[in-house]
Amino acid sequence: MTAEVRGRTVLVAGGAGFIGSRTAAALLDRGARVVIVDNLTTGARRNVDPRATFYDLNIADPEIEAVMARERPDLLYHFAAYVLVPKSVENPLLDMDILVGSVRLLRAAKDVGIRKVIFASSGFLYGNTPQLPAREDDPVDPVSPYVVVKQAVESYLRFFRTVYGLPYAVLRYAAIYGPGQVTGAMADYIRTLAAGRQAEMWGDGTKTRDYVFIDDAVDANLRALDVPNDHPMPVFNIGTGVETTLNALYAKIASLVGAEPRPIYHPDRPGEQHRYCLDSARARRELGWAPTYSLDDGLRRTVEAALAGRS
């Protein structure tokens, strides 16, 4: 059971991105009025649902506070991020707009009386911990500026709730994937193998990831609305608890497109997470959330959609 959103105004920051756009559509389907804010740096205009009100705007722009005051949303979903993690390692200033913009959003959310903020964080916060699957109360050890900013926004959320009573919930995602995704290693592998070429891979392919299908992630986003406002630690891992190596993922994709798996290996890059797997027992217990798609099923749907888009 998820909270009723019919008739509510929901602002979705980053609503032209992969996860944000799917969540916006789900909210619209449930009768919400949706306002999307996105500067289209990594999102795409074609992802914006025509039923939504759209602002082409960087959340770091002071105008975001005027938009919040004008639209007066009841709920805020914050997906805005530069999702190109290797780029953040190369340029640690890249994510500063996200940090500044997040604070602007939270200040405006406090001013307009937002009922709850849902923030899309990352399981990368746990860094290269030997303790897997990682749990919410495990130490955080960010290995990239992208994740440093995620951690900082989580801290600002705690501050705004403690000082101003602004309710929130944080979802620390594993690797979300599915049809329509254009960034990330999986999307690159599918695109390149389907074109009859071999994709590049940094490292020897033994790095692991925990893959969650997009429909399961959207389900978690909606269930997060039910988190009690006085929850002592409203932070939830969204993962399957299953590790898959990049080599194994690549071989699965190659099989689905009828290609030989011969990735082009390069030396590993700095700021990489080597193993990655999340314990989602808290989300199962408190949100009633559980992944419903296996990697094989979700990957088949994703590859089929990509191949259909090429025809």
Domain 9-177+212-239: CATH class, spelled out: alpha beta
The confidence score (pLDDT) of residue 310 equals 65
Quick check: 166 and 109 in contact, CB under 8 A? yes
The confidence score (pLDDT) of residue 85 equals 78
The confidence score (pLDDT) of residue 2 equals 65
The confidence score (pLDDT) of residue 48 equals 97
Let me know if 55 is a catalytic residue. no
Quick check: 283 and 137 in contact, CB under 8 A? no
Fold classification of 185-208+242-280+292-310 is: UDP-galactose 4-epimerase; domain 1 (3.90.25)
Tell which residue, 53, 54, 70, 64, has the closest CA to residue 98.
Answer: 64
Domain boundaries defined on the chain: 9-177+212-239, 185-208+242-280+292-310
Written as tens digits, the pLDDT of the chain (311 aa) is 567 899 999 999 999 999 999 999 999 999 999 999 999 998 999 999 999 999 999 999 999 999 999 999 999 999 999 877 778 888 888 889 999 999 999 999 999 999 999 999 999 999 998 889 999 999 999 888 999 999 999 999 999 999 999 999 999 999 999 999 998 999 999 999 999 999 999 999 999 999 999 999 999 999 999 999 999 999 999 999 999 999 999 999 999 999 999 999 999 988 788 999 999 999 999 999 999 999 999 999 999 999 997 64
Containing 163, the helix (H) or strand (E) segment is helix 145-164
Kindly report each contact of residues 43-49 with a partner whose C-beta sits within 8 Å and lies 24 or more positions away, as own/partner: 43/14, 43/15, 43/16, 43/17, 44/16, 44/182, 45/16, 47/15, 47/16, 47/17, 47/18, 47/21, 47/180, 48/15, 48/16, 48/21, 48/24, 49/21, 49/24, 49/25
Phi, psi angle pair for 212, to nearest 5°? -120, 125
Containing 222, the helix (H) or strand (E) segment is helix 214-223
Extract the tokens encoding 9.
């105004």
- Among the listed residues 77, 82, 126, 146, the single catalytic one is 146
| Separation of alpha carbons 131 and 279, rounded Å | 11
The confidence score (pLDDT) of residue 82 equals 85
Extract the tokens encoding 284.
């199962």
The confidence score (pLDDT) of residue 84 equals 78
The confidence score (pLDDT) of residue 253 equals 98
The confidence score (pLDDT) of residue 311 equals 45
